[in-house]
Amino acid sequence: MTSFLILAFMILVAGVLAVPLASRFGLGSVLGYLLAGMAISPLLARFDVDVEALQVFAEFGVVMMLFIIGLEMEPRRLWAMRGKLAGLGGGQVLLTTLIITGIALIDSQPWQTALAIGMVLALSSTAIIVQTLTEKGLLRTEGGEASFSVLLVQDVAVIPILALLPLLAVPELAGAAAAHGGGGAHGGIDLTAHMPGWLAGVTRIGAVAAVIAIGIYAIRPLFRYIAKVNLRELFTAAALLVVIGIALLMSLVGLSPALGAFVAGVVLATSEYRHELESDINPFKGLLLGLFFITVGAGIDFVLASTIWQSVVFWAAVTIAAKMAVLLVVGWLYGLRRQALWLFCLSLPQAGEFAFVLIAFGVANAVFDQAFADQLLLVVALTMLVTPLLFILYDKLIAHAYCTGQAPDEPDPIDEENPIIIAGRGRVGGIVDRMLDAAGHRATVIDYNSQHLENLKKFGITTYYGDATRPDLLASAGIERARILVVALDEREQIDKLVRYACDNFPKLHVVARAKDRDHVYHLWAMGCRDIIRETYDSALRMGRSVYEALGHDRQAAIAMADAFEEMDRTSMREVADAYRLDIPPYENEELLAKIRELKAEWDPKLRDAMDEIAQRGR
């Protein structure tokens, strides 16, 4: 027990100290965890800690991460990505494998080993990339979605690679493999290992179908049953049960647990329990991913690296250069340009966590000798260590300088002052600006999308480039003397930052803020904003009105019914907003939950009676 507590204490201290420091210097949390692992590596060796076993346990964080991503991706959206999955993902894996295989052949490796090296290094790190893209808010961008498509295909590609590696055995290494004792890819039970190929394939397809069926027919009733008990810890246990059970099923048939978790998440993406599942799994995912990155840093053999560093650096450079070249070509052919293309190229050139599994599997099946496998592990670790630095390169230089065509963080000088300031001129801010201009009101518009601004200039529309959340830029726009600030930014974090600053420092300024959803309305209200517009609310009301008409109500009755709903909704939201607290999550705020239940019980019958009365008058 004491040794376990010492180990846990060392890891937590390393993470708590290193990650904030790394984030403070703009290095990102992933590099912070890697550095923490490198720092405590001597201590782990002194206490005889099995870092590889710890890493296998921590890899479950990747499984949880894919489950959460699946929860955020409805099947319709995944189907829309099918072109990216086939073109970008398949093209990247195939071309990278061929190029690295060719380089390994030039380096005098046997063709079997060369092909295995190509397949192993063609895969990228799902853990690092998705974590970093999520942290930076880039996962839903064009480049981020393209990167995720490739990662998803790579997870699937692990299956045929595992099947092919035993066929690449080098005769000279067969004795070493026998001494090693063989073994599976995951060091566990694979029920399909001794099945004929066709039966193993059918079994794996059946397992995926079972995951989909369980998600549709079993998990929802399970959570409905658990919800009746009204014990939050039991719901958390059920969420973990689902993820662990699906991962176990996938492992038993030789498939990637992360892939199974992703499929389950997609199936549950339309479930009413989606947000609850996400909030319950997130803390475990974050801790395990942090532990995984720490084990990668701790697993670096510095003694071996010091003796063969030239070879390690060569193969790491070959891997990164070859993958970047392939990504550049594939991304360009697919239509990625400018910052999206650069994000795509700089996100994926490293080797991934599956390489640790595949290399061990290759040693067990006489594809690699142990000495070369140790060198290959160092190559994988080095490429993963370089990845956060590539993201820093993207953030500090490319995204601001090359892709925007301006110096980093250098806004346009604002040479006019108007009583209205609009932050963001996208779909929302652009319409507001046009409406004001049509009525003879001039507004100062600030936006951070330089390409969009260049296009607007061609139509004679003046918009200033810059980050509207910066106080110095707002001061130059005359915010101290402005009457109205329209916050029409896209990102919720940016909206919150600007609204808080404006409400705290300019109490007489009328702030009109764009809200992403109902919860965001309450959040902005608690910050002090009193004029908040949900971005999809009015269009949803119009759609509801159209449905009323399609059901047979005349236009006037449909309008009256929509107005009655809107009146009830706005009035009830005002009461709920007073119970919202910034320091308490909504689902833990008992006052808020009680108020919602009270209003639902009060307003639902009233609204139904009002609707019936309007419908009767319309007949």
- Give the span between the Cα atoms of 64 and 243, in whole angstroms: 7
Mind listing the pLDDT tens digit for each residue in 105-123?
998 888 999 999 999 999 9
Whether the per-residue pLDDT at 322 is higher than 90: the answer is: yes
Q: Decide if 260 is inside a domain.
A: yes
Which domain range does residue 522 map to? 411-535
Whether the per-residue pLDDT at 90 is higher than 80: the answer is: yes
Radius of gyration (Cα) for the chain, nearest Å?
Answer: 28
Q: Which residue shows structure tokens 């480049």? A: 143
Task: Give residues with Cβ within 8 angstroms of 322, minimum separation 6.
Answer: 96, 99, 100, 103
Both structure tokens of 571: 């009035």
Q: Decide if 2 is inside a domain.
A: no
* Phi and psi torsions of 114, nearest 5°: -60, -45
Q: Decide if 389 is inside a domain.
A: no
Same domain, 545 and 521: no
Q: Decide if 337 is inside a domain.
A: yes
Beta strands across the sheet bearing 464-465: 464-465, 443-447, 420-423, 484-487, 510-515, 531-534
Both structure tokens of 550: 């399609």
Whether the per-residue pLDDT at 235 is higher than 90: the answer is: no
The predicted model gives 516-520 an average pLDDT of: 85
Both structure tokens of 242: 């689902």
Q: Between the CA of residue 60 and those of 238, 282, 339, 468, what are the distances in Å?
A: 17, 12, 32, 40
DSSP state of 419: S
Both structure tokens of 362: 């290759």
Same domain, 375 and 417: no
Whether the per-residue pLDDT at 95 is higher than 90: the answer is: yes
Mind listing the pLDDT tens digit for each residue in 26-72?
666 777 888 888 888 888 888 778 777 777 777 777 778 778 777 76
580-593 in b/e form (b: 16+ CB < 10 A) is beeeeebeebeebe
- 34-43, 182-191, 206-215, 537-546: range with lowest mean pLDDT: 182-191
Same domain, 349 and 442: no
- 43-47, 126-130, 360-364, 390-394: range with lowest mean pLDDT: 360-364
Same domain, 443 and 564: no
Mind listing the pLDDT tens digit for each residue in 436-448?
888 888 888 888 7
Q: Decide if 218 is inside a domain.
A: yes
Percent of the chain with pLDDT over 90: 13
- Give the span between the Cα atoms of 48 and 236, in whole angstroms: 34
Among 342, 366, 384, where does a domain finish?
384
Strand 531-534 relative to strand 443-447, pairing: unpaired
Same domain, 445 and 526: yes
Q: Decide if 615 is inside a domain.
A: yes
Residue whose C-alpha is closest to residue 70's, from 284, 249, 205, 268: 268
Among 492, 511, 535, where does a domain finish?
535
Q: Decide if 286 is inside a domain.
A: no
CATH number of the domain residue 510 falls in: 3.40.50.720
What integer best gives the mean pLDDT of the chain?
81
Same domain, 453 and 597: no
Both structure tokens of 384: 């993963």
Mind listing the pLDDT tens digit for each residue in 548-607?
888 888 888 888 888 888 888 888 888 888 888 877 777 778 888 888 888 888 877 877
DSSP letters, 253-266, are: TT--HHHHHHHHHH
Same domain, 418 and 562: no
Count helices and strands (H / E) in the chain.
29, 6
Q: Which residue has the higher pLDDT, 616 or 563?
A: 563
Indicate the pLDDT class of residue 206, thresholds 50, 70 and 90.
Answer: confident
Task: Give residues with Cβ within 8 angstroms of 55, minimum separation 6.
Answer: 292, 295, 296, 299, 356
> What is the structure's pLDDT at 237?
85
**By three-state DSSP, how is residue 356 classified?**
helix
Quick check: 398 and 392 in contact, CB under 8 A?
Answer: no
Same domain, 482 and 555: no
> What is the structure's pLDDT at 306?
86
Mind listing the pLDDT tens digit for each residue in 133-181?
877 777 777 788 889 889 888 877 876 787 688 788 877 766 544 444 4
Q: Decide if 40 is inside a domain.
A: no
> What is the structure's pLDDT at 312?
92
CATH number of the domain residue 273 falls in: 1.20.1530.20
Same domain, 243 and 129: yes
Same domain, 110 and 173: yes
Mind listing the pLDDT tens digit for each residue in 468-484?
888 878 888 888 889 99
Q: Which residue shows structure tokens 């192993």? A: 120
Same domain, 494 and 602: no
- 332-346, 398-412, 467-481: range with lowest mean pLDDT: 398-412
496-509 in b/e form (b: 16+ CB < 10 A) is bbbbbbbbeebeeb
CA 543 to chain centre: 31
Q: Which residue shows structure tokens 């939950």? A: 593
Indicate the pLDDT class of residue 80, thresholds 50, 70 and 90.
Answer: low
Element (H, E) at 515: strand 510-515
> What is the structure's pLDDT at 407?
41
> What is the structure's pLDDT at 181?
45
> What is the structure's pLDDT at 404?
44
> What is the structure's pLDDT at 405?
44
* Domains identified in the chain, total number: 3
Among 484, 510, 535, where does a domain finish?
535
Same domain, 244 and 338: yes
- Give the span between the Cα atoms of 100 and 383, in whole angstroms: 15
